[in-house]
Amino acid sequence: MATWVELLLRVGGVVVAFLTLPLLVGQTEHKVMAHMQARMGPMYAGGFHGWAQLVADGIKFVQKEDVTPRAADGPVFRLAPMVALLPYMLVLLVIPLGPGDLVAQSLDVGLVFALAVLGIGVIAVLMSAWASANKYSLLGGLRGAAQLMAYELPLVLSAASVAMAAGSLSLQVIVEKWQPWWLIWQAPAMVIFFIAAIAEIRRPPFDMPIADSELVFGFMTEYTGLRFAFYLLAEFAGIVVISALTAVLFLGGWHGPNADALGWLWMLLKTYAVAFLVIWLRVAYPRLREDQLQRLCWQILVPLALAQLVLTVGVRLALN
């Protein structure tokens, strides 16, 4: 019975984190973009600096009419937003928050599990694109599928570099074996992983599957109400997940002063810092064209990721 109680507490903690951290990132995005663009941003909902704006947005989405296009494939159309949310919740189960047992589910192949589950996102994009019976949605879905399948390669290769350096596929072991000097020789892998991860969650400047100036709103064009809110929540949850993975793989996770007691705090701070950088890129860089997006992947990121793997092998052999 104690084991079941512990499991429920761990899963409950992940659910709470899944429901709160994306909202914090969303509110931060509102305020960060407002300051970077010299405007105030949301100021009224909740009183103090509009802290409850996302809550008000959620209530608004719940009240909106749920519309399914007449020509749409109803079951697939309605299921797609939930499929978009599920991978990020599953990945949070294996991300260690601190030393010891501060992880919902410890896996010896946690890195493989996380990267494999993140790939499910392309299924949700294709489901919504095809089921919407809309040409703009279909074009956005095809763009999204091409983008996600392309950037999975540099994402996996850069993560493999860290796993090779640590000699393990366990996220806990990778953090435990992390050394500050990894920030130097694993820096290229970190940059590649970060860029590829942003493309995986379709955040600007890699938001070609949405491209509102060209495709209305891409694969999300026909969605309204709560289902549209699920897609927005999935976007913010994706920011949390890739920021946490970047912190675990490249920034030492819970490592910091007094890590035994405050490791969870260092992990959250590093995750929040990476999330801030994701938001900053949205404001600072324009959207890439489709050909630029693919060229960046195949001509720059993939060769650099392979070169980083060779470097990691060389360093491992030299140390041994």
Tell me the CA distances in angstroms from 236 to 78, 177, 221, 230, one per residue in order: 20, 30, 18, 10
User: Above 60 in pLDDT, residue 1?
Assistant: no
User: Above 50 in pLDDT, residue 220?
Assistant: yes
* d(C-alpha 231, C-alpha 248), whole Å: 25
Expressed as residue numbers, the domain containing 276 is 2-319
Tell me the CA distances in angstroms from 117 to 113, 138, 250, one per residue in order: 6, 23, 20
Q: What is the pLDDT of residue 305?
A: 94
Structure token digits, residue 108: 């010896």
pLDDT in tens, 245-291: 999 999 988 888 887 888 889 999 999 999 999 999 888 888 888 88
**Residue length of the chain:** 320
* d(C-alpha 99, C-alpha 205), whole Å: 35
Q: What is the pLDDT of residue 39?
A: 81
Q: What does residue 317 show for φ and ψ, rounded to 5 degrees? A: -65, -40
Judged by average pLDDT, the poorest of 38-52, 101-115, 116-130 is 38-52
Q: What is the pLDDT of residue 139?
A: 86
pTM (global) more than 0.75 = yes
Q: What is the pLDDT of residue 161?
A: 92
User: Above 50 in pLDDT, residue 310?
Assistant: yes
Q: What is the pLDDT of residue 7?
A: 67
Nearest to 196 by CA among 161, 229, 167: 161
> What total of structural domains would you count in the chain?
1
Q: How confident is the model at residue 54 (pLDDT cuts 50, 70, 90)?
A: confident
User: Above 80 in pLDDT, residue 41?
Assistant: no
User: Above 70 in pLDDT, residue 2?
Assistant: no
The arithmetic mean of pLDDT across residues 299-316, rounded, is: 91
DSSP state at residue 206: S
Q: How confident is the model at residue 124 (pLDDT cuts 50, 70, 90)?
A: confident
Q: What is the pLDDT of residue 297?
A: 92
Q: b or e along 193-226 (b: 16 or more beta carbons within 10 Å of the residue's beta carbon)?
A: bbbbbbbbbbbbbbbbbbbeeebbbbbbbbbeee
